[in-house]
Structure 1
Amino acid sequence: MSTRYYVYAAIFWSILTIFISLISGARLNTLKFIDVIGFDKVGHLVFYTMLSFLWSGACVRVKYEKFFVIFFCTTFGFLMEILQFYLFIGRSFEFFDALANFIGVLIGIFLYHTLNFK
């Protein structure tokens, strides 16, 4: 796939992740699809696997691409946790959510480079 596709997909997925991450706790409980997929640690893992996979494709021409994607996506996830804590009632910072985000980032980078033979 082209780098342009990955850039657009990565931006879209980042915006979706921001939206899902920053929903208030009360509103989060009204979203039925979250009940279906068991959106907790596995949800964090899946979202950040996809996030880093797409950003890996978008940043193939960036020097030190793996380091950049790890740094960007991990910082992004940590920032989402901090914003949840400070901005929303019913949401909190959880270390294990941040850890699931980080593990997802590593899995996404691994999958991108494995599936693209790089």
Structure 2
Amino acid sequence: MQKNIKICWDKYKSKIKYLFFVYFIILTWLLLRKSGGENYVEVFGINLKTIYNDKIAHASAFLLLTILGFLSYINVSPIKLIFFITLYGVLIEVLQEFMHFGRTFEFFDILADFTGSVLGVVVSGFFIKKVKIKPD
């Protein structure tokens, strides 16, 4: 299985950078778009308050962004990647505050973004070691 993953990696690694940029643009749009104003989300017909769900969504979104970033820029140090992706999260929060789209600056969103970024580096590092991917 490891060999199959390595073959797949060699075949598609150039497309991961493209996917990273597309995801980055979509995530930016989602985080800066006008808020619906409702403080709940419906899952399987059940309305759930988004206080915790929002933080899980932030962490998950930044986890995926970091995984794609780490795999796209495999030569970049994990600390630099975490720094720049967290800085992106801070910038998004500042823009949310000043764009007046019904969203506000939230410190805990930044903390969730940072947490997702750290987890993304851990997951990516595990994947790279497991599959034995070497930087170009």
Q: TM-score, normalised by structure 2?
A: 0.73
Structure-2 residue corresponding to 1:66: 78
* Structure 2 unaligned regions, length at least 5: 1-8
Q: Deviations over 1:61-82 (max 9, x none)?
A: 33xx212211111111111111
User: For the residues of structure 1 that align with 2:15 and 2:124, how far apart are their CA atoms?
Assistant: 14
| TM-align CA RMSD | 2.1
Structure-2 residue corresponding to 1:79: 91
After TM superposition, what 4+ stretches of structure 1 lie above 4 angstroms from structure 2? none
Whichever structure has more helix as a proportion of its residues is 1
CA 1:11–1:35: 2 relative to 1, 3 Å: farther
Structure-2 residue corresponding to 1:48: 62
- Alignment equivalent of 2:26, drawn from 16, 25, 49: 16
- Percent of pairs with identical residues: 29
* Structure 1 unaligned regions, length at least 5: none
- Alignment equivalent of 1:89, drawn from 93, 101, 111: 101
Which is higher, the Rg of structure 1 or of structure 2?
A: 2
